[in-house]
Amino acid sequence: MELLIKNGFVYDPINGVNGEKMDIATRDGKIVENVNESKALKIDASGMMVMPGGVDIHCHIAGSEVNTGRLLRPEDHFRDFERKTPKTRSGVGYSVPSTFTTGYRYARMGYTTIMNPSMPPLEAKHTHEELNDTPMLDKATYPLLGDWWFVLEYLKDGKIEECARYVAWMMTTTKGYAIKIVNPGGLEAWGSGRNVSSIDDQVPYFGTTSREIIRGLCKVNKLLNLPHTIHVHTNNLGKPGNYLTALDTMKCVEDLASGDKPAIHITHCQFCAFKGSDWRTIKSGAEEIAKYVNNHSHVTLDTGQVIFTDTTTMTADGPFQYGLHELSGNKWVNHDVETETSSGIVPFRYRRKSYVHAIQWSTGLELALLVRDPWKIFMTTDHPNGGPFIYYPRIIAWFMSRKARETTLKKINPRAESRSLLPSTDRELSFYEIAIMTRAGQANALGLKDKGHLGTGADADIAVYNINPETTDPSKKYRTVRRAFENAAYTIKGGKIVAKNGEILRHVKGATMWLDVQVSEPIKITEEMKRRFREYWTVEYENYPVTENYLEVSHPTTIKADV
Amino acid sequence: MINLYPLKEFEFPIIAECINPDIFQDKTREDIEKLKIWEGNRQRKLEELFKVKATKTEDQAEETTITIRGDVSKVRKIGAKMTNGEIVIHGDVGMHLGEEMEGGTITVHGNVGGWAGSMMKGGTIEIHGNVGDYLGAPYRGSSRGMRGGKIIVYGNAGNEAGAYMRKGVIKIYGNTGQFAGLRMHNGTIYVQEDCEGRAGACMTGGKIVVGGFLESVLPTFTIESVKKNVKIEENERVEGPFYLFLGDLTENSKGKLYVLKEKNPHLSHYERLL
């Protein structure tokens, strides 16, 4: 099938195209030089913006904790539901939407690729079942490896290569895409009711430290040549004064970076950019973090922007979630995933009039505006922790318009308003920079070669937004911008039009991307390993791996490792 | 005034958010007949399920009055989110009556299903029959209960009446089931007759008055004093004497639970602790 998108203003930052008027042609799901104009299906995009399909580096949309979140929050679905149509299935929203609704809502906004960032390896099958049921999107998931006993044991003994073999095995076994580290060491400590408070604290029993875990896995990542860097949720998340921990975490892998290639991704950075000694004196540490990131090339960030709404927080960070429950008094779930990780869920409402929440809102935006290079910072809400992903267009409006920020600033807690750095920032991002922060940069950081750009050979995942960059001034007409990004004029997935002006036209299945990491000496599944499984896990080894036929549309990438 | 008559005995649940004075206001009979309503999974027009009759009143009152005559026990969400006007129902009504209502009045001469006055913020609901579970309680999982208004029930109420209540008055002149005032924060619940038990579990504030038999008070309540009478609302006091218990101590709070002394001789051993 051929498709021709004519006369759009194309934003393709990876290929350096900045709003030039050109045609984009696709054939059989790939972007090609040209097509036979008389045969191809034509889309008239004159006066519209054409961008690569959106890429989301971090959003919790599938897996056991998301599903537990759904069970925990009937009142969340009650207010927001979608009826079935001849093309789509019914579903519910809001902060933890059902899988099909997740797919449709992303597609309406012009997103085509998303990353599910926390999968306990034990729950890999559940996660992949839900990802199979998330339509319209290509997706991948990151297994949580920072507190896996095997990793801790090998890192304790300094056996990096051995550790790398096990990580490679785990990546292929669970069909994962990147190494996710959550509160390194803290989750293991939480198993015995403790936590770690800095990156140099000892993990009980294993005697290793967070620093060693982060550095160890960073080296492993490099040995295995994984496309993404390590994806780190720092220690002390959500505590006043934790920007120092975030800086320590970035600094500790400084020497492991090679050239300009990033070595670490700090995720939902807003939650670890708090200055101050307690909740009353909390301030934004965005300036310090931005200063560090501006001067170093080995770090990428995503914002984790807070939206003033009712949402559901869910992370693998059990101790943090317990603290949040203590703080808010809301209902909660907490769970220890055997030898691997922990998790927690607490419903939460971000209020404009709350000093802390308003500071958090401001911090997220400050980070995005103060980090000068858009290739280093990406737009997320850490869905659903900062707010549901349906609010991305609102964040784009805040990024692009000082006026939009000021309108919201007027409504927030006055003390937070007076401490916010936003009034002193004049920066307003351009559509080109937005295209980097929402798609190109994210695809680049994830090492997705065929996503996030519109060059020949790329996947034909395209978003067309009904806004004319020549006649619209986003800093004044921020509402127009927001509306345009809420419902893409066309969303094209794999060369097919799947959504048009907010209406889903076609239900398509997306692929699950995973890494087939090939090491020279793969680990042998010995009797000893099976014994460990019997001793440590509640499942037998035979039931553990996710086989390839488990994935409905499997899209492996073969990686040649250095071990 | 608009009169509605159900055309048949309903077999499937009907979601009738449109039966609401705010929506009927300034509409002709023809417009009202065209309003959309869900029967099971089919969308219908109001005229397919109800006969609509408009009667002119002498003084053409500002506020719309809707009268429903007949059995509407399968019809849900009548008067949901209404802010003014009046609904009078002669017959039984289904679930979610007056959900999230903000003003106006609903009067029912019949029985009502569960979740009547759920999450309401203002207005009055008067029920001359029995009412199901979750009277004035929030939707499942939510902790945002009733925030104002008044509910009066002349019959019996089911379980969890006034759960998570924050403000307002609930008066039940019959019996009530278990867990009346579960996790309530503020407001008043008055039960004239018997209360099945576990009244005020996990309450953090507010007032529950039981004028009948209460088998036992939760062990997490402590006796404070004996009161002669209790104020229910402005200009309304109930004569006692009442035992006053404070709790729930598991929540470290001091909600008030009044239990009539006369009907509860088995609680007299608490007096030793005074």
Dump pLDDT digits (tens) for A115-146: 999 899 999 999 999 999 999 999 999 999 99
| pLDDT at residue A89 tops 80 | yes
H helix intervals, A401-477: 402-411, 414-419, 431-435, 441-446
Q: Predicted confidence band at B54 (pLDDT cuts at 50, 70, 90)?
A: confident
| pLDDT at residue A332 tops 90 | yes
| pLDDT at residue A396 tops 80 | yes
Interchain CB distance below 8 Å, B141 and A74: yes
Interchain CB distance below 8 Å, B141 and A76: yes
Nearest one of B186, B117, B99 to B158, comparing CA atoms: B117
Chain B (131-160) residues lying within 8 Å, Cβ to Cβ, of chain A: 138-144
Share of chain B above pLDDT 70, in %: 98
* Chain B residues closer than 8 Å to A330 by CB: 143
- The pLDDT of residue A286 is 94
- The pLDDT of residue A407 is 94
**Nearest CB to A74 within list B140, B143, B144:** B140
Best of A68, A70, A73, A75 to disrupt the B interface (most B CBs within 10 Å) is A75
Best of B140, B182, B202 to disrupt the A interface (most A CBs within 10 Å) is B140
Interchain CB distance below 8 Å, A78 and B142: yes
| pLDDT at residue A246 tops 70 | yes
* Chain A residues closer than 8 Å to B144 by CB: 75
pTM for the predicted model, two decimal places: 0.92
Instruction: State the smallest CA–CA distance between residue B158 and chain A in angstroms.
Output: 21
- Helices A286-295 and A243-251: crossing angle in degrees, nearest 10, is 10
* Chain B residues closer than 8 Å to A312 by CB: none
- The pLDDT of residue A4 is 95
- Give yes or no for a contact between B116 and B125, defined as CB atoms under 8 angstroms apart: yes
Interchain CB distance below 8 Å, B139 and A330: no
- The pLDDT of residue B106 is 96
* Chain B residues closer than 8 Å to A78 by CB: 139-140, 142
Nearest one of B221, A460, A45 to B208, comparing CA atoms: B221
- Give yes or no for a contact between B131 and B110, defined as CB atoms under 8 angstroms apart: no
What is chain B's mean pLDDT, rounded?
93
- Give yes or no for a contact between A58 and A302, defined as CB atoms under 8 angstroms apart: yes
Nearest CA in chain B to A74: B141
Residue B250, chain A, CB below 8 Å: the answer is no
CA-CA-CA-CA dihedral for A484, A488, A490, A491, to nearest 10: 150
Going along chain A from its start, the domains and CATH numbers come out as 54-443 (3.20.20)
Q: Predicted confidence band at A1 (pLDDT cuts at 50, 70, 90)?
A: confident
| pLDDT at residue B200 tops 70 | yes
**CA Rg value for chain B:** 20
Query: Environment class of residue B69 by beta-carbon count within 10 Å: exposed (0-12), middle (13-18) or buried (19+)?
Result: middle
Cβ pairs A/B, distance under 8 A = 19
* Mean pLDDT for the stretch of residues A222-243: 94
- The pLDDT of residue B61 is 60
Instruction: State the smallest CA–CA distance between residue A475 and chain B in angstroms.
Output: 37
* Chain B residues closer than 8 Å to A76 by CB: 141
| pLDDT at residue B64 tops 90 | no
* Mean pLDDT for the stretch of residues A47-57: 95
The Cα–Cα gap between A298 and B122 comes to 57
| pLDDT at residue B25 tops 90 | no
What is chain A's mean pLDDT, rounded?
93
Nearest CA in chain B to A69: B141
Chain B (172-191) residues lying within 8 Å, Cβ to Cβ, of chain A: none
* pLDDT digit string, tens, across residues B105-154: 999 999 999 999 999 999 999 999 999 999 999 999 898 899 999 999 99
The Cα–Cα gap between A392 and A380 comes to 8
* pLDDT digit string, tens, across residues B96-108: 999 999 999 999 9
- The pLDDT of residue A133 is 95
